[in-house]
Each structure stands twice: as C-alpha cells, then as structure tokens.
Structure 1
Amino acid sequence: MVVGDISLSDKIAVVTGGGSGINLAFVRLALNAGAKVLIADLKLTSEADQLVKSSSGNVEFAKCDVSIWADLKALPKEVTKAFGSDAVADVWIAGAGVFEPKWSSFLEDAEEEHYKQMQINAEHPMKLTRIAMRSCLGANKPGVVLIVASGAGITGNYACPIYCASKHAVVGFTKSMAPADADEHFKVVTICPGMVSTPLWTGEQAKDVHAQFSYTDDVCITPEEVAEAMIEMVEQGKYGGGSLLEVAKGKLRNELESHQSVVVTGAEAKAWADQCYAPMREVYKKERGVMVKSSNGAH
C-alpha cells in the first residue's frame, strides 16, 4: 500500500539543516500545518533560535553534524526526548548540504582521506533514510523522506564537479528507493532547486562565488517557494516514491522523470522483481513492528 495523500497536521518532522535557509522555511510551513518539528543542525541562526524559543514546545533543536553517523543515529532518541517516549517521526527532511567549499572541493583537493562534501551531501541523506525507515517500520507506521538535492543533480557543471556528483548520487538513490512506497508504505522523494536566495549564496563565505556563478537576486527563487513545493511533495500522493521535482526560476513545479522509470509490469517482470527484492523485503519484514511488539511486552 502506497503512502498516498497525508497531512502534516499532528505529524512529527525531523529536518536536518533546519537552522537556516530553505529548511528553516520548511520548518515554519510545517509548524503552520500543525506539525511538531525537530531541527537537527550544527547551530541555529538567530531567526531559528527565536522560533524555537517562541514555539511552545512544538519545535525543538538537536545539535547534529550530519557527517557523523552517530549524530544521525541519535535522532530517533532525540525525537522521543523532545516530544515524548512514544514519539516517532513521520517525515524526515534531509536538507543539510554544502556547495563545493574550498575545504572540500575537487579543485583545491586538500583532504587526505575523503571528500567530506560527499559525506554531507550524499551519504547523509542515504543514512538518514535508512534510520528513518527502520524507525517507521519499527512503529509500524508510514513514513516519508524528502531529500533536498539540486538542479545540479540532473545536469552538471565543470566548476563544481563533486557537488554535482553528490546530487546525482541522491537522485539515483531516490529512483532506486521507489518500490519502498508500495512495498513498505515508505516514500522517498527528492526536490531539485535551482539557485535560491539562501546563506549558501548570500552568506559571508559565498562572496567568492558570486561573480564566478553570476549570482544575482533576479535569477533566484526564494526559500519559501522551495519550501512550499517540499510541503506538496510530502503531503500529496501524486508524488509517489521515487519522484523528482525541479523548482527553479521559470520552472516551478516542473516534475522530472520519476518513479515510473522503475515500475515493473507484467508477470515475467514481476517475477524478476520478487526474486531481486526478496532479501530487502525479508529484512524489512523483521524490522516491522519491533517497537510495537516491545511496548506490548513481546520478545
């Protein structure tokens, strides 16, 4: 059974990178829709801090470095700490990301063991999805993951190859996770914004890239426009698992190639899929209802 249409009212959302920009705009809209929100970020902007302080407990903050898996693994416990012992997040937004910073770039190539940009932009959304899936399956409830990628995940750019590669990675991951919607009542979708007026472009650290990438306000959309599209993708069943949505200047709500590219039809194709997906389905079956059984005293 697919997730279908849902409402954010009375739901719990976890938002990585929710302390600023697009993701903070999503936090505001989710709160207005009646959700409770856990912001998972390195720190809060003054605007986000004020929101937390004035929210009457509907939004909480958990310090989280998304490149550290222990921080990501702690998020389900942070949800219960913030919203009650039985609380399980319904919606997970993998929003934290960086744009080809000098400290993790192909051109500078200053790192010794790995590109941390890949950890933040690509590995973190994948790991968060697995954590979210295990959490929702354990509570035997539907779930939604929305990954914030980029139009760079569809095209490419010689000036920022690792950034583009990281966003291509999550686009491919999203398409691959499409069957989880029907199989496990768990939807994974991705939004691909164009240039947005956020700290990534407007912050102090972004001055060097303004001229390089021809940044001007008139080619940008607002964080609120992206957040509105994110709300639609979470709540509306027409965006099934594996869906991609581009949101850019002049391209609002332009749905890209989606889950239909991996849907299998016909008896022969279904038999192949059943064989291919069997190991995954077996693991998910064991994870389903674990929390429910535990609370009922089952072992």
Structure 2
Amino acid sequence: MGVHDGKVALVTGGASGIGKGIVERFLADGASVVSFDLKPTAIDAPKDRFLSLEGNACDEAAVNKAVADTVSRFGCLDVMVCNAGVIAITPVVEMDFAEWRRVTEVNMHSIFLGARAAARQMIKQGRGGVIVNASSGAGRRGAPNLSHYCASKAAAIGFTQSLAIELAKHRIRVNCYTPGHIQTPFWKDISEGFSRVTGKSPDDIVKGFMDTVPWGRFGTPADVAAAVSWIATPDAEYISGQAIAMNGAELPF
C-alpha cells in the first residue's frame, strides 16, 4: 500500500529536475499524477495513473485547463505542487528589466495561478487538500547576482504563509519547500552564469557552492521529492504555512 493510494497530484514543471523527481515519487507512493510543463514529461509510468500535459505555468487559461483536465481524467485533485521556476545570474546594475520580469513572473505568477486554481477545485470538492509551493534557500537571505531570484523565492514564502491562513477553514494545507543546492540541469547555467560575473571557472564555482554544504554533497531531486511527498501525507496534517528546508545543514535552515 502506498501512502498516496487513491490520491491525485498535479505537478507543474514536472518534466525535469526537482519536478520530475516529485512526479516519480508520487507515482511510487501510489498517486495518480499529472505533470504540466512546457515540454512533454518522459517517464515510464502506468498509463492509467499518469498524464503529461504541455503548457505554460504562467498562462492563466492554461493553468485552469490543466486543473480541469486533471479532474476530467482522474476525477479529483488532492495535491497541487507548484514547482515551475527559472533562475538567472546577473548583477542588478547590469540587469535588463526584461530579465527581472521573466524571473519574477515565472517564479511568482506560476505559484499564484497554480495555487489559486487548485484551491478553487479543492474547495468545490469539500474534503480539503494539500498545496505545496516551490521556494528556495535563496528566499531566506539575499545573494549577490541573484536579486530577482531571491526576491521571487521570498515572495513564495510570504504567499504560502498568507494562503495557509486563508484556506485553513477549508482544511486545505499550504506549505513550501526551500531546497539548498540540488543537482539538477540548472547547474550548468548557474555555474556558467557565476563564472561570467566572477571570472572563476565553472568547476571552481561548483566547488565553492559544495564547500558551503556541511553534509558534503549536493542534494538530489529525490531528496526534495521525499520531503514533498511526506508533507502531503496525513502524518503532516497539522503542518501548514511552513517553509521546509532540505539543504544538508547549509545555513539558513
């Protein structure tokens, strides 16, 4: 018996990295899962428990349709994971407004649209639910060359705390996860971006980040996914409005 047997989960940004790890974990834990991403999600999964949808998590109509398609296919929505996000590395004084808007809009608007659509469906169902939003350790403190990313991830924490209070009367729990350094395809862009602005080699950039992790390794999508899955279980029934870290003891907690 899986801990999510009979449940239905929708994951945005599920085609790669942390999102794909979350999709795979919920499937392994018994849920029926819908992955919503700009590109197809390539996963070896039972066809009667998995659906890949393509669309933009910042498009209001597309997000609403993804929720409707999830309910049409599987009958309900129990868990919403708003995972879609982007990152870029640029000092503020060199940053184009277009880059600021892209990073903040993707990271903030996708959470708002996904959580709102899920909350409306869960309220309609009348039996509660779970919404889990993607933040980051960067949402707890500033970092040079990441002002737009840090700002958007801090906003995710504030939004999560506010929505948790609003939805408590409907028994809908809202939390967010704040990963530290997680080994995903983002790291190529991250290391090359910091190399460009610091003059250090990409390898030295990676080593520098690794040296900040007391656990001695980067995290994996599976590390994050295990925590997200647990947040959605009845064992976490009294946990709402929280920002939960998985970071190998890296500060801030």
Please give the TM-score of this superposition, normalised by the length of structure 1.
Answer: 0.72
Distance 1:113 1:21 in 2: 22
Q: 1:174–1:190: 8 Å Cα contact kept in structure 2?
A: yes
Cα displacement (A) at 1:141:
2.1
Match of 1:31 among 13, 27, 31: 27
Distance 1:239 1:219 in 2: 31
Distance 1:195 1:210 in 2: 14
Distance 2:46 2:36 in 1: 16
For residue 49 of structure 1, what is the aligned residue in structure 2? 42
Q: 2:88–2:190: 8 Å Cα contact kept in structure 1?
A: no
Cα displacement (A) at 1:92:
0.3
Instruction: Label 1:36 to 1:167 Cα distance change in 2 as closer, same or farther (>3 A).
Output: same
Q: 1:93–1:145: 8 Å Cα contact kept in structure 2?
A: yes
For residue 228 of structure 2, what is the aligned residue in structure 1? 230
Match of 1:63 among 54, 66, 76: 54
Instruction: Label 1:112 to 1:50 Cα distance change in 2 as closer, same or farther (>3 A).
Output: closer
Distance 1:168 1:113 in 2: 18
For residue 213 of structure 2, what is the aligned residue in structure 1? none
Query: What stretches of structure 2 of length at least 5 have no aligned partner?
Result: 199-203, 211-215
Distance 2:61 2:150 in 1: 26
Are 1:159 and 2:145 matched, yes or no?
yes
Alignment of 1:261-280 (within 5 A): none
Q: 2:88–2:193: 8 Å Cα contact kept in structure 1?
A: no
For residue 285 of structure 1, what is the aligned residue in structure 2? none
Q: 1:181–1:240: 8 Å Cα contact kept in structure 2?
A: no
Cα displacement (A) at 1:111:
4.3
Match of 1:12 among 8, 20, 32: 8
Distance 2:35 2:166 in 1: 25
Equivalent residue letter for 2:59: I
For residue 82 of structure 1, what is the aligned residue in structure 2? 73
For residue 184 of structure 1, what is the aligned residue in structure 2? 170
Match of 1:143 among 126, 129, 132: 129
User: What root-mean-square deviation, in Å, do the aligned CA atoms of Structure 1 and Structure 2 show?
Assistant: 2.6
Q: SS state of the match for residue 47, structure 2?
A: coil
Cα displacement (A) at 1:57:
2.5
Please give the TM-score of this superposition, normalised by the length of structure 2.
Answer: 0.84
Equivalent residue letter for 1:226: V
Larger Rg: 1
For residue 201 of structure 2, what is the aligned residue in structure 1? none
Alignment of 1:82-231 (within 5 A): 82-83=73-74, 87-100=75-88, 106=92, 108-111=94-97, 115-180=101-166, 182-202=168-188, 205-209=189-193, 211=195, 214-216=205-207, 218-231=216-229
Distance 2:21 2:150 in 1: 24
Q: 1:180–1:187: 8 Å Cα contact kept in structure 2?
A: no
Per-residue deviation, residues 163-220 of structure 1 (Å, max 9, x unmatched): 0000000111111123245311111101100010001114xx4451364582246541
Query: What stretches of structure 1 of length at least 5 have no aligned partner?
Result: 1-5, 257-299
Distance 1:163 1:36 in 2: 31
Distance 1:156 1:219 in 2: 22
Q: 2:129–2:172: 8 Å Cα contact kept in structure 1?
A: yes
Distance 1:167 1:243 in 2: 14
